[in-house]
């Protein structure tokens, strides 16, 4: 039997952590919110790496799928593409969060030191935290859907194998 829970367990805690970080209010706390959500996204990225390794290695869960069926081959190919896409989305969003956090970084002022100049003001508009939050929520939905699709494919493969022998 294929342990479908293994992949989900690797992603479950980081996804939950990201959902909780995303749900916190950010007005007046933009820098802290950006850092907290960014840390949670880092955890998701690491879990996605492990998830991909567990699923795609020679002895991984996706190799347990009946690859003699063209439909299963297409589904496995799509899931593998999603692994890369989800990683890229996560990295991009984390970079946006880092930029957002810098926009709200208080200037370092060297009290009593004339030699210390303040950091230059970052160029660009003030980050749209609502849009950023929405994009991260979309990533969370995609992660959940990906988990469901993988589980369904694995279960369908098991059921097909069992059904053949009946």
CATH number at residue 31: 1.20.120
**What whole-number distance in Å separates Cα of residue 27 and Cα of residue 47?**
29
Q: Taking 60 as the threshold, does the pLDDT of residue 6 lie above it?
A: no
Asked if 19 and 137 count as a contact pair (C-beta separation under 8 A), the reply is no
| C-alpha distances out from residue 25 to 22, 57, 59, Å | 8, 40, 43
Main-chain dihedrals φ then ψ at residue 145, nearest 5 degrees: -65, -40
Range of the domain at 86: 8-103+128-165
Residue that the structure tokens 């347990």 belong to: 64
| C-alpha distances out from residue 71 to 43, 65, 78, 153, 157, Å | 32, 11, 11, 10, 11
Q: Taking 70 as the threshold, does the pLDDT of residue 161 lie above it?
A: no
Is there a domain that residue 67 lies in?
A: yes
Q: Which of 20-34, 123-137, 150-164 has the lowest mean pLDDT?
A: 150-164
Is there a domain that residue 110 lies in?
A: no
pLDDT tens track for 46-100: 999 999 998 988 888 888 888 888 988 999 999 999 999 999 999 999 999 988 8
Main-chain dihedrals φ then ψ at residue 49, nearest 5 degrees: -60, -45
pLDDT tens track for 115-141: 666 666 666 666 788 899 999 999 999
Q: 28: Cβ–Cβ under 8 A, 6 or more apart, which residues?
A: none
Is there a domain that residue 111 lies in?
A: no
CA dihedral 61, 65, 67, 68 (to 10 degrees): 150
E runs forming strands in the chain: none
Specify the pTM. Answer: 0.79
Closest by Cα among 17, 22, 34, 28 to 98:
34
Is there a domain that residue 76 lies in?
A: yes
Is there a domain that residue 3 lies in?
A: no
| Number of domains, the chain | 1
Q: Taking 90 as the threshold, does the pLDDT of residue 9 lie above it?
A: no
Query: What is the pLDDT averaged over residues 135-151?
Result: 95
Show the tokens assigned to 117. 């100049």
Which of 27-36, 104-113, 128-137 has the highest average model confidence (pLDDT)? 128-137
């Amino acid at each position: 039997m294929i342990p479908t829970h293994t992949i989900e367990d690797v992603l479950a805690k980081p996804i939950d952590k990201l959902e909780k970080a995303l749900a916190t209010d950010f007005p007046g706390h933009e820098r802290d919110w950006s850092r907290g959500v960014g840390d949670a996204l880092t955890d998701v990225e690491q879990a996605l790496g492990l998830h991909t390794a567990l699923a795609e290695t020679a002895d991984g869960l996706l190799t347990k799928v009946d690859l003699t069926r063209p439909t299963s081959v297409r589904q496995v190919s799509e899931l593998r593409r999603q692994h890369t896409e989800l990683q890229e989305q996560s990295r991009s969003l984390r970079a946006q969060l880092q930029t957002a956090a810098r926009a709200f970084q208080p200037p370092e002022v060297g009290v009593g030191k004339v030699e210390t100049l303040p950091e230059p003001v970052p160029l660009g508009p003030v980050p749209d935290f609502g849009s950023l939050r929405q994009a991260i929520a979309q990533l969370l939905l995609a992660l959940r859907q990906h988990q469901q699709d993988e589980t369904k494919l694995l279960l369908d493969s098991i059921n097909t194998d069992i059904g053949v022998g009946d």
